[in-house]
Structure 1
Amino acid sequence: MPAHRMVTASDGCVLALHTLRPGRADVEPLVFLHALAMDARMWQGVADRLDIVAPLYALDCRGHGASGKPAGPYTTARFAEDLAQVLDSLGAARAHVVGCSMGGTVALAFAGLYPQRVASLSVVDCTAWYGDDAPGAWEGRAQRALREGLASLIPFQAERWFSPGFAAASPEVLAGAVEVFLRNDVNAYAESCRMLGRADERERISRYTGPAIVVVGESDYATPLAMSQDIMGRLPGAELAVLDGLRHYTPMEAPGRVARRITSVLVRASSLSQQ
């Protein structure tokens, strides 16, 4: 997927921004943020099903895809600043921000740090905080990748990503996700794992009071329902949508269902802007 533009962040890291669908220049854009070890392509199915006039972009977060892969440490605040600088490059004061898994945690960080720049917020299969044992658990995953290679994590990852029935019925989707996963730079992957282990957006996300939706797969055990409910309790303008039968990568398994939930918050944002 060729990048629409390359944006240089303030620390020199080059970020790849992809246009999933052009739209009206006078409408606030929508920017997608992908999951750990994925890239912008995970959002194409959702973008194809969104019937809106806004330009649709997807960012390869630093350390991923066609973006630069600098040495760490990585932080959610740095990833959020990257998004702010991407919006600056688009001449956009605000954007509709959509993130899944790691991208959802980054979206929460962005909403907490730059609430005035968020037109609406949609977070999918994510958490604001992984828990007290997160630093050790994520360091363990990083060390396994560094020691045994990314391929060693595939059985663990694939089971979490998709429901068993979907993986069997759509092997090409699973194979595509595995291919993207294996192309990652292992050091950047390890730094991203450490970032998620340290991430704690619980306090600052309440600074964002605009329209929001929290979407989670009913059978997501990577970021289970309780984590989405915690986010809900901290976002005054949020709604919750639980998608039955789905696991962690709901945008890839059920793009139409996710697109409908995003559309609902975009409609709410449009209504509020017209009041």
Structure 2
Amino acid sequence: MTGQLRYDLVGQGGDRTVVLLHSLAMDGTIWRDFAPLLGPGVTVLAPDLPGHGPAPYGDPSSVESMADGVAELLRTLGMRDVTLIGMSLGGSVAQALTIRHGDLVGRLGLVDTTAWYGEDAPAAWAARAGQARERGLSSLAGFQLERWFTDGFRGSHGELCERLLEIFRRNDLDNYVASCTALGAMDLRERLERIAVPTAVVVGELDQATPPPHAQALAKAISGADLTVIPGCKHLSCLERPDEVVAALRPILD
């Protein structure tokens, strides 16, 4: 869509609205199998984050600018008091959106994500962006798959893995680099106390990208947040163990 973020809309007309924000270098289409699990009577909005998707739009230069882009879409569509669920980058954007545009968010789900990647983050994310520049996004395919899913899941879900890699390879290189730089610079820790909505935090036990201590820090900093660790699961737990993630999110979905 010219002039706004592209999005998928499922179950339009439901009495509750759930907004799903995807991980780095993915797009809103990754939620098509997950969205129906959220139950009847739910409108599900799955936008492409700024700088992502087949027709990238918006500013991916910071987590805050991505949050502002999603907030603009919600206001355009007349959506308020939404249940906002983000995975990985999407979870970081969801934190920033709730902090900056709290009037739009009624409940919050943070899956396999963090408020801060640590002191080495700028260098680590710069190295990943540099590899993409020098050797192309395809050079990161093996690294991504190994972090996304366990060996067993990759072995039994080859078609899904290849579909995700196709999305990954199609990314605009400049936008991918900008998004990596944004994650390296991100530090939302001091603002988490502003989040005052019911919050569920979920993480895969084997997540290497945002390990359980990151989720524990989020749950500790956000008043009243619940924490669930999915056993034997890696980074994209919404795709690897969707039923268990939905069960963990049920308090905010109901």
- TM-score (norm. length: structure 2): 0.95
Once residues 253 and 193 of structure 2 are traced to their aligned partners in structure 1, the CA distance between those partners, rounded to angstroms, is 20
Q: 2:246 aligns with which of 244, 259, 269?
A: 259
CA drift of 1:20 comes to 2.9
CA drift of 1:28 comes to 4.1
1:26-175 matches, within 5 Å, as: 27-69=15-57, 74-175=61-162
CA-to-partner distance for each residue in 1:53-95, whole Å, 9 max, x for gaps?
Answer: 121010101111134356x661111111112111111112321
Once residues 95 and 243 of structure 1 are traced to their aligned partners in structure 2, the CA distance between those partners, rounded to angstroms, is 25
- Partner in structure 2 of residue 11 of structure 1: none
Once residues 165 and 42 of structure 1 are traced to their aligned partners in structure 2, the CA distance between those partners, rounded to angstroms, is 20
5+ long unaligned stretches in structure 1: 1-5, 9-13, 268-275
RMSD (Å) for aligned C-alpha atoms: 1.5
Once residues 46 and 220 of structure 2 are traced to their aligned partners in structure 1, the CA distance between those partners, rounded to angstroms, is 28
Q: Is the 8 A contact 1:39 1:61 kept in 2?
A: yes
- Partner in structure 2 of residue 16 of structure 1: 6
Once residues 182 and 73 of structure 1 are traced to their aligned partners in structure 2, the CA distance between those partners, rounded to angstroms, is 17
1:242-253 matches, within 5 Å, as: 242-253=229-240
CA drift of 1:7 comes to 7.2
CA-to-partner distance for each residue in 1:126-185, whole Å, 9 max, x for gaps?
Answer: 000001110111011001101100011111111000011010011111111111111111
Q: Secondary structure of the equivalent of 2:115?
A: coil
**Judging changes above 3 Å, is the alpha-carbon distance between structure 1 residues 117 and 220 closer, same or farther for their aligned structure 2 residues?**
same
Q: Is the 8 A contact 1:128 1:202 kept in 2?
A: yes
CA drift of 1:98 comes to 0.5
**Judging changes above 3 Å, is the alpha-carbon distance between structure 1 residues 64 and 164 closer, same or farther for their aligned structure 2 residues?**
same
1:192-211 matches, within 5 Å, as: 192-211=179-198
CA drift of 1:263 comes to 2.3
Once residues 88 and 262 of structure 1 are traced to their aligned partners in structure 2, the CA distance between those partners, rounded to angstroms, is 24
**Judging changes above 3 Å, is the alpha-carbon distance between structure 1 residues 51 and 169 closer, same or farther for their aligned structure 2 residues?**
same
Q: Secondary structure of the equivalent of 1:119?
A: strand
Once residues 7 and 86 of structure 1 are traced to their aligned partners in structure 2, the CA distance between those partners, rounded to angstroms, is 12
**Judging changes above 3 Å, is the alpha-carbon distance between structure 1 residues 40 and 54 closer, same or farther for their aligned structure 2 residues?**
same
Aligned sequence identity (%): 38
Q: Is the 8 A contact 2:238 2:245 kept in 1?
A: yes
- TM-score (norm. length: structure 1): 0.88
Amino acid at match of 2:204: G
Q: Is the 8 A contact 1:216 1:228 kept in 2?
A: yes
CA-to-partner distance for each residue in 1:225-256, whole Å, 9 max, x for gaps?
Answer: 00000101111021001000100011111111
5+ long unaligned stretches in structure 2: none
Q: Is the 8 A contact 1:30 1:55 kept in 2?
A: yes
Once residues 69 and 80 of structure 1 are traced to their aligned partners in structure 2, the CA distance between those partners, rounded to angstroms, is 13
When the two structures are aligned, how many residues end up with a matched partner? 254
Amino acid at match of 2:9: T
Once residues 189 and 124 of structure 1 are traced to their aligned partners in structure 2, the CA distance between those partners, rounded to angstroms, is 21
- Partner in structure 2 of residue 223 of structure 1: 210
